[in-house]
Amino acid sequence: MSTRLTVIIPTLGRSTLPKVIEEIAFSNEVIIILLCHGASTFQNLKKLDLKPEIQVIECSEKLSISDLCNEGLARVETQYFAFFSDDDTWLPQKSQLLMSFLDLNPEIDIVFGATLEVNGKGKKIRPTDLLRDNQNIFAYLYEVPIIFSNNRYLGLQDAILRNGNYPLFRQGISVYEDIIWLADAQKMGHKVHAISDLVSVKYPSLTRSSSRQGPESANFMFKQIKDINGAGAKNYLRFHAVRASIGSGKVNQYFKLLKLRTAVIGVNWRDIYLIPIQLCQLVYFKSTNATVHQSQQ
C-alpha cells in the first residue's frame, strides 16, 4: 500500500520533536518533512537516528514561518498532507479519522478536527461551535463578538488536506499565517469542513502569543479580514486582537492595541462597557499570572 500522507513540520529542534515524530509515525504510513530553521537546527537533527521516510531540510534562519510552509508545500507528492507543530501532540486517531472523512467526501478539500488546549489555567476543547458548509473562515472566526469565552477556533495543525493546487503562504509573515492562507485557499475554491472529534493536544502560551500579536500584525490582519468581511474586521479589532494581551496581563500591549483600534475604526458606544470589562479581565489575569509566577519560584 502506497504512502498517502505527508506531514510538514517547521522546527527549531525543540526537545519535544522526537516524541512528536513518534506519535505521527505510530501505525501510520507517512512521510515527515522537517523544515529546520537554521543550520544549527539542521546539523543537530541530522545526528538523530531518523527513518528513511523522514526528510530533514535545511532552511535559512531568516525565513518566516510562512516561508518555511512554502518550502514544505513544494515537496508534497502524496494524496493528503498536513502541517504540525514540533511541540504539540498528534493523537493516534487523527490520521485515519480525517483521511477517511476526505475519502468519503470528495467535494471537501480540507477537514479539521478539534483540539484540547492545555495551559496553566486548565484544559478546554475547541472549537465547540463548528464551521460547517464551507462558511467563510474570517466570518466564522470574527463575525461573532467574543467578550469572555471563545467557542470558535481553527488551527491548521488540526487539519488534513487533499493534495491539489493551493496558493502560496504570504511571504514574510509569522503571525496569522495559517488563517490567511486558509482564506486564500477558500478564494481559490477549496472547500473546508470541521468535525467535533478530538485530533490533537495544544499547549498554547499567551505570553508568546502576545509578544507576536502587536499593533503591526493586528493592523495587517484587520486589512486582510476587511477585504472579505467588514463586520468581522471591526469585531476582530474590538474583541479578538486583544485577547492574548489580556490573557497574559500585558498592560502596555493592550493599550497599544486599544490605540490602534481607536485610530482605525473609531470609538463605538459599546466601548463604554467593553473597555471596562476588558480592563477588569486584564487586571485579573495580570494578578493571576503574578501569583503563578511567585508560586513557581
Q: Supply the pLDDT for residue 27.
A: 62
Q: Is the pLDDT of residue 193 over 90?
A: yes
Task: Report the pLDDT value the prediction gives residue 15, as an integer from 0 to 100.
Answer: 86
What is the band of 289 on the pLDDT scale with cuts at 50, 70, 90? low
234-265 pLDDT, tens digit each: 999 999 998 888 877 888 999 999 999 999 99
Does the pLDDT value for residue 195 go beyond 60?
yes
**Per-residue pLDDT for 290 more than 80?**
no
Mean pLDDT of the 24-41 span: 86
Provide the pLDDT for residue 293. Answer: 41
Q: Tell me the per-residue pLDDT of 108-138, one tens digit each, with 9 for 90 and over.
A: 999 999 999 997 768 999 998 999 889 999 9
The pLDDT value given to residue 85:
93
Cell of 65: 514561518
Average model confidence (pLDDT) across the chain:
89
Cα–Cα distance, 293 to 66 (Å, whole number): 33
In this structure, of 58-62, 99-103, 167-171, the range with the lowest mean pLDDT score is 58-62
Q: In this predicted model, what pLDDT tens digit does every residue of 205-223 receive, in sequence order?
A: 766 676 677 899 999 999 9
Distance CA 1, CA 13 (A): 31
pLDDT of 40 over the 70 cut = yes
- The pLDDT of residue 249 is 82
Residue 282 reports pLDDT greater than 60: yes
| pLDDT value at residue 224 | 93
Q: In sequence order, what are the residues at sequence separation of 6 or more whose Cβ sits closer than 8 angstroms to the Cβ of residue 276? A: none
Q: Which of 292, 284, 282, 251 is nearest to 119 (CA)?
A: 292
Q: Which domains does the chain have, with CATH numbers?
A: 5-204 (3.90.550.10), 207-296 (no CATH)
Kindly report the number of other CB atoms within 10 A of residue 248's CB atom. Answer: 20
Q: Which residues of 264-273 are buried (b: 16+ CB within 10 A; e: fewer)?
A: bbeeeeeeee
Contact 84, 95 (CB under 8 A): no
The percent of residues above 90 in pLDDT, for the chain, comes to 61
- 224-230: average pLDDT: 92
**Orientation angle between helical segments 177-187 and 215-226, nearest 10 degrees:** 10
Q: If pLDDT is split at 50, 70 and 90, which confidence band does 4 have? A: very high
Enumerate the β-bridge partners of residue 162.
80
Burial class (CB in 10 A: 0-12, 13-18, 19+), 221: buried
Residues 19 and 17: their CA atoms lie apart, in Å, by: 5
